[in-house]
């Protein structure tokens, strides 16, 4: 068990560019979650997958955001036409899927939009 990994750990981009983040969950965890954390705030739920199906999306996830989990393993989060307000830590978590199970978090990807 190597834990949840996220790449890259840091990303600096110019406004208007597209960025993509990757999350590798703990193997055999069928649920995968994305959260966004801004400075001084707790993580905010963005979306989650059960296997390859995206089951819920937050209203925070604007049309510029898209997430995929094509084979039910790793997931990608893409932000198109980045804005300065997108600057945040993007956290990924996974769990085996029983309600109430703890979520295991990755170290996050810190995005800075200049």
Partner 1 sequence: AQSVTQLDSQVPVFEEAPVELRCNYSSSVSVYLFWYVQYPNQGLQLLLKYLSGSTLVKGINGFEAEFNKSQTSFHLRKPSVHISDTAEYFCAVSPSGTYKYIFGTGTRLKVLA
Binding site for partner 1 (CB under 8 A): 4, 31, 33, 35, 40-45, 48, 55-56, 91, 93, 97, 99-100, 102-108
Q: Which residue, 37 or 66, is less far from partner 1 as judged by CB?
A: 37
Tokens read off for 69: 């989990």
Q: Which residue, 74 or 104, is less far from partner 1 as judged by CB?
A: 104
Q: Which residue, 15 or 22, is less far from partner 1 as judged by CB?
A: 22
Least spacing, CB of residue 65 vs partner 1, in Å: 16
Least spacing, CB of residue 15 vs partner 1, in Å: 25
Going by C-beta distance under 8 Å and a sequence separation of 6 or more, which residues neighbour residue 108?
6, 9, 37, 89, 90, 91, 92
- The Cα-based distances of 24 to 21, 34, 85, 93 in angstroms read 10, 12, 25, 9
Least spacing, CB of residue 42 vs partner 1, in Å: 3
Q: How far apart are CA 86 and CA 34, in angstroms?
A: 14
């Amino acid at each position: 068990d190597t834990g949840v990994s996220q790449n890259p750990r840091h990303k600096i981009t110019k406004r208007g560019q597209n960025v993509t983040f990757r999350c590798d969950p703990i193997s055999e965890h069928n649920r995968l979650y994305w959260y966004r954390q801004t400075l001084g705030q707790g993580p905010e739920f963005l979306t989650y997958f059960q296997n390859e199906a995206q089951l819920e999306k937050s209203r925070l996830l604007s049309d510029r955001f898209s997430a995929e989990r094509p084979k039910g393993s790793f997931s990608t989060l893409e932000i198109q036409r980045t804005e300065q307000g997108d600057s945040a830590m993007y956290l990924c978590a996974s769990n085996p899927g029983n309600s109430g199970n703890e979520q295991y978090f990755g170290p996050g990807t810190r995005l800075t939009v200049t």
